[in-house]
Every structure is written in C-alpha cells, then in structure tokens.
A and B are shown apart, each in its own frame.
Chain A
C-alpha cells in the first residue's frame, strides 16, 4: 500500500542550527512528494514539492530532493530561525489520493 513515514519528534534546535527531518515513502507507481508546514491552530501550508525523481523542491531556505532509489524526501534547512517553529508534514500524491505522515514538531530556541 501507500504510506509515508516521518522521523519522530519533537525536535528542538538552537537558532542557526542545521535541520534535517527524514521522510521515507512506500508507493505504487511514481507519486509526487510534498512538504507542508502547520503553525499552531492553523491549516497546512505548502512548503515545497517535487513531481519526479531527482527533482529538488525549495522554498524559504528549505529544500528536499526526490530520491527514488532510497524512496526518500528528506527536508533540510541550513540555518533555522525561531519563526520556523511549527509541525512539518511529508505527503505523497498518487493521483488518486494524498497520504500524509504523522508530522514532526520542530521548536527552535533563541
């Protein structure tokens, strides 16, 4: 079946630290992959996406590369800020349905 597995949180980092949130997936065919961010009490906002293997999605200093050989889409940022504190969701789209990971909570401390 189709599924997304994210690293367990919560993750706590100091400001300007390097961020990696791991995401691996299982899917039939060739899905598109997404990262969404959710701030407290709000809906999900698209952060970045990649639609085919080796594509790199990037936005606001975040980036992720679609790795078909390792079925992964890890989220990275070189220098996090306090304002990046949120819950991050990895998702895949098979064309018929979206599948979401359970979310990884990130807290950045000054």
Chain B
C-alpha cells in the first residue's frame, strides 16, 4: 500500500533537547511538507520541499530545520530554539507543487515537551 508514515506517534522531550521527527512516503511524490497543528487552530506551514536537496521556509520556520537527501524522506528537527514546541506535527506530500495537486497526510506525531 502506498502512503505516508510518520514516527514515532508520540514523542516526549526535555527542554533544551533537539528531537527529530521522521516522515517517509512511497507515493513517488516530488513535494513534501511539514505542518504544525495546535488545539483549535488550523495547520501552519513549517517547511516544504519541491525536489531533493532543496527546501523552503514556511510561515513558522524559526526553531525548526529539515533535510531532503532522498525523495522519499523529509525529516524535521525541532531544535531547542523553538520556544513552544508542544504540538501535533503533520507531514504531507503531493505529486508536485501545483494548483490542482492534492496534499496527502501522514498520521502525525504528537510532541510533548516536559
């Protein structure tokens, strides 16, 4: 089955630690995205990547970093510089970045900072 996997489902981190969230897709999609979701709010774009070895900042990139070394993988690192990292993180992919393209989402990772 084709799809997007995110791991782990739940993640706990102590303040001051960096943590990396995994996102893998086997849909052969060129574009991948990371969103943050807070209770009662919509999704906010953190970073996106249109092709391997290229990525752009979204609306709330501060305190986050990404890499895109392989087409199928787009890991997100939440650094200690992110002031309020507790949230639900969603990874998505689309065939390409285009107006008619649909984004498909993974199951999400819930990050809690203790």
| A interface residues, Cβ below 8 angstroms from B | 4, 30-32, 34, 36, 41-46, 49, 51, 89, 93-98, 100-103
**Cβ B102 vs Cβ A34 within 8 A:** yes
Q: How far is the CB of A105 from chain B (nearest CB, A)?
A: 9
3 nearest A-B residue pairs (beta carbon): A95-B99, A43-B105, A100-B42
How many A-B contacts are there with CB distance less than 8 Å? 56
Residues of chain B touching chain A, judged by Cβ–Cβ distance below 8 Å, are 4, 6, 33, 40-43, 45, 48, 58, 90, 92, 97-108, 110
Question: Which chain B residues lie closer than 8 Å to A100 at the CB level?
Answer: 42-43
A31 to B6, CA, bound (A): 29
With a cutoff of 8 Å between Cβ atoms, the chain A residues found around residue B48 in the complex are: 97
In contact, B43 and A93 (Cβ under 8 angstroms): no
**Contact across chains for B107 and A98 when beta carbons are under 8 A apart:** no
Taking the closest CB of chain B, its distance from the CB of A103, in whole angstroms, is 6
Provided the pairs A42-B107, A43-B107, A49-B102 are in contact, do residues A102 and B42 lie with their beta carbons within 8 angstroms? yes
Q: Max chain B CB contacts within 10 Å: which of A42, A44, A89, A95?
A: A44
